[in-house]
């Protein structure tokens, strides 16, 4: 979950602060098995906002090493999500409206597969093939720095309408070269990034892939646009696993402003489909706030792992409390026993 709390000043941009240290270590001490650092830009223009984390320079590595070490010391596996915001980059903090930022307000020009704007945003610059190669290299170098910093899991962010997802979806990808058109072509960049990250990551350290299982356009009978679908996701998940991905993290939406269902299993039902139809390891996410429901998702085969976001924002000890509910031993029981 993005916190938009990095220092935006150029000399400190992208680096974790004491806020991030306290924030993530609290969740580790609170019982989480794995703590995933929020979307971390692989380049300055790959950040969602000027207040995002980034790992595009060796100078930033030491700050991330401090964070990974502290998470590990608090009992959790340190993980990091590597991302490029693409055409949804250069926006203000959500609590300040989240609108696109002008250059004189810390903003920058956005990029995408085509010059198709996200609703309400400026049209992005269409990436050339040379630019695409630079993006792949940026993911590779960020992964190398993350590995050096001590992170044990890397996640490639290809969801929520950001750059990699925007290449996958025909809503935002109108290219006619080898990165557009067919599903295989639209998936090309994602798989190139996966290969690049996998090459620099240790063989015994997992690499995850976060995907949007649907654009939520095909589910609307009144909207006849071609879009990214659950069927596409199953194919991508199969290919990504063949390229070395260890787990597919199943989210949804983000490539257009369309209604998203509010039912409890709006995303977890798609995680189950990916797991069943692709025969791979998946993580489920989305409105998982009840420990009993979380246990049910794993026990019934909907997912192999669960990613908890908003519930852990509300309660850093959500996992310890769940452990107590199920009769298990919470982490740091001696220190926290009086509170559980």
pLDDT in tens, 290-336: 999 999 999 999 999 999 999 999 999 999 999 999 999 999 888 87
309: left (phi over 0), alpha (psi -120 to 50) or beta: alpha
**CA distance linking residue 34 with residue 76, whole number of Å:** 5
pTM: predicted TM-score of the whole model, two decimal places: 0.97
pLDDT in tens, 157-171: 999 999 999 999 999
Residue 160 CA: distances (Å) to CA of 40, 221, 242, 253, 291? 14, 22, 23, 5, 26
Counting beta carbons within 10 angstroms of the beta carbon of residue 178, is it exposed (0 to 12), middle (13 to 18) or buried (19 or more)?
Answer: middle
Question: Catalytic: 24?
Answer: no
Task: Judge whether residue 337 has pLDDT over 90.
Answer: no
Is the pLDDT reported for residue 203 higher than 90? no
The rounded distance, in Å, linking the Cα atoms of 110 and 100 is 10
Instruction: Choose among 82, 131, 88: nearest CA to 107.
Output: 88
Residue-wise pLDDT for 52-65, tens only, equals: 999 999 999 999 99
**Tens digits of residue pLDDT in 262-285:** 899 999 999 999 999 999 999 999
Instruction: Give ∠ CA 183-198-243 in degrees, rounded to 5.
Output: 40
pLDDT score of 310: 96
Catalytic residue among 162, 179, 336, 338: 162
Predicted local confidence at residue 290, as pLDDT? 96
- Name the packing angle between helices 61-73 and 129-149 (round to 10°): 50
Model pLDDT, residue 339: 59
Q: Quick one: what percent of the chain has pLDDT higher than 90?
A: 95
Looking at residue 32, what is its pLDDT? 97
d(CA 90, CA 104): 12
Q: How confident is the model at residue 253 (pLDDT cuts 50, 70, 90)?
A: very high
Express each pLDDT in 216-237 by its tens digit.
999 999 999 999 999 999 999 9
Integer CA distances (angstroms), 69 to 35, 114, 202, in order: 12, 40, 17
pLDDT at res. 340:
55
């Amino acid at each position: 979950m993005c916190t938009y709390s990095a220092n935006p000043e150029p000399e400190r941009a992208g680096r974790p602060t004491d806020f991030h240290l306290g924030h993530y270590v609290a969740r580790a001490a609170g019982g989480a098995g794995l703590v995933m650092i929020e979307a971390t830009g692989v380049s300055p223009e790959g950040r969602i906002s000027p207040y995002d984390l980034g790992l595009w320079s060796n100078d930033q590595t030491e700050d991330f090493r401090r964070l990974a070490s502290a998470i590990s010391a608090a009992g959790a596996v340190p993980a990091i999500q590597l991302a490029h915001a693409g055409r949804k980059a250069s926006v203000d903090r959500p609590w300040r409206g989240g609108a696109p930022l002008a250059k004189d307000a810390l903003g920058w020009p956005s990029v995408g597969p085509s010059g198709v704007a996200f609703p309400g945003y400026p049209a992005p610059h269409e990436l050339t093939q040379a630019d695409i190669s630079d993006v792949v290299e940026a993911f590779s170098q960020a992964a190398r720095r993350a590995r050096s910093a001590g992170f044990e899991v890397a996640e490639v962010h290809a969801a929520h309408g950001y750059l990699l997802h925007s290449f996958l979806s025909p809503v935002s990808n109108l290219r006619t070269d080898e990165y557009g058109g067919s599903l295989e072509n639209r998936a090309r960049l994602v798989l190139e990034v996966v290969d690049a990250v996998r090459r620099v990551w240790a063989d015994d350290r997992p690499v995850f892939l976060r995907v949007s299982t649907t654009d939520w356009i095909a589910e609307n009978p009144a909207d006849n646009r071609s879009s990214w679908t659950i069927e596409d996701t199953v194919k991508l998940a199969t290919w990504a696993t063949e390229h070395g991905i260890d787990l597919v993290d199943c989210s949804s939406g983000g490539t257009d402003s369309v209604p998203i269902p509010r039912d409890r299993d709006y995303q977890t039902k798609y995680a189950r489909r990916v797991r069943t139809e692709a025969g791979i390891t998946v993580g489920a996410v989305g409105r998982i706030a009840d420990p009993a429901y979380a246990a049910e998702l794993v026990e019934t085969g909907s997912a192999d792992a669960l990613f908890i976001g908003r519930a852990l924002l509300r309660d850093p000890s959500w996992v310890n409390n769940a452990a107590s509910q199920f009769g298990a031993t919470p982490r740091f029981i001696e220190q926290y026993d009086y509170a559980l």
